[in-house]
Chain A
């Protein structure tokens, strides 16, 4: 009996939120940046939803797919950086917090980072933000996106910190 009860506990599966409701999307878009557009307040709904873009494997997996589909690799490579800065070295030009990264993707940054406001939906930008943050994370977390289809060029996302990358000097 005890075994069956224990086995039943395993039936709880991570919930997949396949789409956000339009009002929630609007609310998620309402980040409050500081005047210099670095850092700022997370939308309250982000916390109210339980931060799915930080700790839900499905959302992180979607972010990983978008990272490939929207050619983030074109400039940032697999996180090690190329013509764009590295994302795995733990150094962030505009801060490591989700709001800064969200603003970077949505509105772009000077010297090359394009704005994706009209190329991605708000939900997708948050998914990408969550994924980019796992790439350079210092602490391991249980939620991780799906495995790579290609060869691993760095430790998998759930195996933080990416030690080899951190010892490298900043890309520029």
Chain B
């Protein structure tokens, strides 16, 4: 009894939350949700009917006769026709619901999403090159504005899946996939790589943060700024270490000499809620822990352990956590 109650409670927990198909937060997700329930309803009714007929057949065994043969033929014929009809109806419904998912909307906000082992690079495009923006693992979108996501991958196949907003779509090396969605309510929606992509596949999450258009523009303007200059001597030392050591070979911090493009852009790393693709909350402690030993926190990722003294580690974390 208790096990039943627990499993029921767990089942219900799946109906709400920031990563569930059952709480659609946009028209595309709503359509898919409608499709899901229609399928469950139609297939559920058919299953019940079949079970009912099966029980009848087991209960009342038929006596072989000439008339019975003919009746059986009619019943089989009708059932086959009904099955074909149901399959056609379901196919048409599925086509109608998924047709709009990869069609570009009018005047969409175009965001490029590139999958890496194991993080996401997010590029906001704009007609003006100085308004282009690169960030990582966090997609901010304005509520009510159609978003066109261009999906690509740098190494292996990944898959973009933010169930509250839209269905899955693969990121394939050497190919571009498109996905359109709109967020209709502000909120934070979690997404997850949905195609096994290696050792740390489970630690490859991203957040979609839907905001009111004004808040989104403010966020975008803030992100377009170069990194803020260090205020304390410790932060200054952190920046000096960062740009003169292997950190700068892979990471970009706009406004400094660090211009590597192999790892995530860190210009506003502290403005993001998580580091290491959703693995840790962004705090000075988690940043320091990550830098001190990335291979123990996320084994197999491509960030090497850079040898440094405790003072250097303190300085770098003090500087990075200030990059709002």
Using a CB–CB cutoff of 8 Å, the interface residues on chain A facing chain B are 16, 18-20, 22, 25-26, 65, 69-70, 118-124, 149
Number of interface residues of B (CB under 8 A): 17
Given contacts A26-B307, A120-B249, 18 further A-B contacts (CB under 8 A): A16-B300, A18-B295, A18-B300, A19-B296, A19-B304, A22-B305, A69-B262, A70-B249, A118-B245, A119-B246, A119-B249, A120-B246, A121-B304, A121-B305, A121-B307, A122-B307, A123-B304, A124-B304
> Could you say which of A70, A118, A120 contacts B244, with CB atoms under 8 Å apart?
A118
Measured between beta carbons, the chain A residues less than 8 angstroms from B299 are 18
Per-residue interface assignment for chain B, residues 291 to 303, with 1 indicating a CB less than 8 Å from any chain A CB and 0 otherwise: 0010110011010
Measured between beta carbons, the chain A residues less than 8 angstroms from B300 are 16, 18
Measured between beta carbons, the chain A residues less than 8 angstroms from B306 are 121
Measured between beta carbons, the chain B residues less than 8 angstroms from A122 are 307
What are 29 A-B residue pairs whose CB atoms fall within 8 Å in the complex? Answer: A16-B300, A18-B299, A19-B293, A19-B296, A20-B305, A22-B305, A22-B307, A25-B305, A25-B307, A26-B307, A65-B302, A69-B262, A70-B249, A118-B244, A118-B246, A118-B249, A119-B246, A119-B248, A119-B249, A120-B246, A120-B249, A121-B246, A121-B304, A121-B305, A121-B306, A121-B307, A123-B304, A123-B305, A124-B246
Q: Nearest Cβ distance between residue B308 and chain A, in whole angstroms?
A: 9
Judging by beta carbons under 8 Å apart, are B295 and A19 in contact?
yes
CB-based A-B contact count at 8 angstroms: 39
For B173, B262, B307, the residue with the greatest tally of chain A CB atoms inside 10 Å of its CB is B307
Q: Give chain B interface residues in 271-324, CB to chain A under 8 Å.
A: 293, 295-296, 299-300, 302, 304-307
For B295, B299, B305, the residue with the greatest tally of chain A CB atoms inside 10 Å of its CB is B305
* Alpha-carbon distance A120/B262, docked complex (angstroms): 13
The residue on A at minimum CB distance from B298 is A18
* Alpha-carbon distance A72/B262, docked complex (angstroms): 15
Measured between beta carbons, the chain B residues less than 8 angstroms from A70 are 249
The residue on B at minimum CB distance from A29 is B307
Measured between beta carbons, the chain A residues less than 8 angstroms from B245 are 118
Q: Nearest Cβ distance between residue B258 and chain A, in whole angstroms?
A: 11
